[in-house]
Chains A and B, each alone.
Chain A
Amino acid sequence: MLVKLLNTLLMVVVALSITGVINRTRALLAGRKGIRFLQHIYNVNLLLRKGAVYSTTTTALFRIAPVVYLGATLLAFLFIPIADLEPLLSFHGDIVFVAYLLALSRVAIVLAAMDTGSSFEGMGAAREALYGALVEPALMMGMATLALFCGYSSFADIFATAQELNMNLTIVLLLVAYVFVVIMIIEAGRVPVDDPKTHLELTMIHEVMCLDYSGVDMALIHIAGWLKNAIFAIIAANAVAVAFSFHWWFAAPLAILATGIAIGVVESFRARNKLSRNATFILTIVAMSALVLLTGFLLIQNIEI
Chain B
Amino acid sequence: MKLYHVTNNCASHIALSDIPVVEYVELYNDLKERMAQRRYHIGHYFATEIENGLKFFLILLDDTTSEVLVTSFVPDYYSEGLASLTALHPAFHPFEREIHELYGVPFDSHPWLKPLRFSHDRRDKASTMDSYPFYSIEGAELHEVNVGPIHAGIIEPGAFRFICAGEQVLHLEIALGYQHRGVEGEMVRNQNRLRQTLIAESIAGDTAVGHATAYAEVVEKFAGFKASKSLSLERMIAIELERIAMHLADTGALATDIGFQLYQVACEALRTVTINTSQAWCGNRFGKSVIRPCGSNHPLTEQKIALIRKNISEVRRRYNEVREDIMESPSLLARFEQCGLVPKSEMETIGGVGQAARASGLLRDLRATHPSGYYTEIKHEPILKHDGDVMSRLATRMDEVLQSADYIESALANYKPQGDIPAPDYNATLQGDALAFSLVEGWRGEICHVALTNGEGEIVKYKIKDPSLHNWLGLAIAVRSEGISDFPINNKSFNLSYCGHDL
A and B form one complex: yes
Given contacts A119-B143, A271-B331, A29 and B153 within 8 Å (CB-CB): no
Chain B contacts with A in 247-290, Cβ cutoff 8 A: 255, 257-262, 264-265, 269
A267 interfacial contact with B, CB 8 Å: yes
A200, closest chain B residue (CB): B488
The chain A residue sitting closest to B261, CB to CB, is: A268
Residue of A at shortest CB range from B333? A271
A202/B487 in contact, CB under 8 A: yes
Query: Complex formed: what's the CA distance from A81 to B221 in Å?
Result: 80
The verdict on A295 contacting chain B, using a C-beta distance below 8 Å, is no
Q: Quick one: closest A residue to B488, CB to CB?
A: A200
Given A267-B259, A271-B329, A271-B335, A276–B265 Cβ distance below 8 Å? no
Quick check: is A3 within 8 A (CB to CB) of the other chain? Answer: no
Give chain A interface residues in 255-305, CB to chain B under 8 Å. Answer: 267-277
CA distance A34 to B389 in the complex (A): 35
Name B336's closest neighbour in chain A (CB-CB).
A271
A195 at interface by CB-CB < 8 Å: yes
Q: Is the pair B146, A119 in contact by a Cβ cutoff of 8 Å?
A: yes
In this complex, how many residues of chain A approach chain B with their Cβ under 8 Å: the count is 31
Knowing A270-B260, A271-B329, the reply to whether A277 touches B334 (Cβ < 8 A) is: yes
**Do A202 and B261 touch across chains, with their CB atoms under 8 A apart?**
no
Decide yes or no whether A142 CB sits under 8 A from chain B.
no
In the complex the two chains form, is A202's CB within 8 Å of B332's CB?
Answer: no
Specify which chain A residues have a CB less than 8 angstroms from the CB of B269 in the assembled complex: 31
Is the pair B257, A200 in contact by a Cβ cutoff of 8 Å? yes
B483 partner, pick from A195, A199, A276, beta carbons under 8 A:
A276
Does A275 lie within 8 Å of B483, measured CB to CB? yes
Output the residue of B143, B261, B484 with the most chain A CB within 10 A.
B261
**Residue in A31, A195, A201, A276 whose beta carbon sits within 8 Å of that of B259 in the complex:** A195
A26 within 8 A of B: yes
**A191 adjacent to chain B (CB < 8 Å):** yes
Is B194 interfacial (CB-CB < 8 Å)? no
Say whether B307 faces chain A, with CB atoms less than 8 Å apart: no
Write out the residue numbers on chain B whose beta carbons fall within 8 Å of the beta carbon of A201.
147, 152
Whether the pair B260, A271 counts as a contact (CB closer than 8 A) is yes
| Separation of A229 and B269 alpha carbons in the complex (Å) | 33
Residues in A with CB closer than 8 Å to B485 are 202-203, 274-275
**Is B144 located at the chain interface by the 8 A CB criterion?**
yes
With a cutoff of 8 Å between Cβ atoms, the chain B residues found around residue A199 in the complex are 152-153
Do B334 and A202 touch across chains, with their CB atoms under 8 A apart?
Answer: no
A30 at the interface (CB under 8 A from B): yes
A163 to B189, CA, bound (A): 85
A32 at the interface (CB under 8 A from B): yes
B167 touches which one: A195, A271, A276 (CB < 8 A)? A276
Cross-interface CB contact of B265 among A32, A126, A192, A272, cutoff 8 Å: A32
* B259 lies within 8 A of A191 (CB): yes
- Chain A, residue nearest B255 (CB): A271
Counting CB contacts under 8 A, is B327 at the interface? no
Most buried by A among B144, B167, B259, B334: B259
Interface string of B147-176 (1 = CB under 8 A from A): 100001100000000000011000000000
Given A199-B153, A202-B484, A202-B485, A120 and B261 touching (CB < 8 A)? Answer: no
* Interface flag for B11 (CB, 8 Å): no
Chain A residue, CB-CB nearest to B332: A271
CB-based closest 5 A-B pairs: A195-B259, A271-B258, A275-B485, A271-B331, A272-B259
Given contacts A26-B261, A126-B166, A274-B486, 8 further A-B contacts (CB under 8 A): A30-B261, A123-B484, A198-B257, A198-B259, A270-B331, A271-B331, A276-B167, A277-B334
B residues in contact (CB < 8 Å) with A: 143-147, 152-153, 166-167, 255, 257-262, 264-265, 269, 329, 331-332, 334-335, 339, 483-488
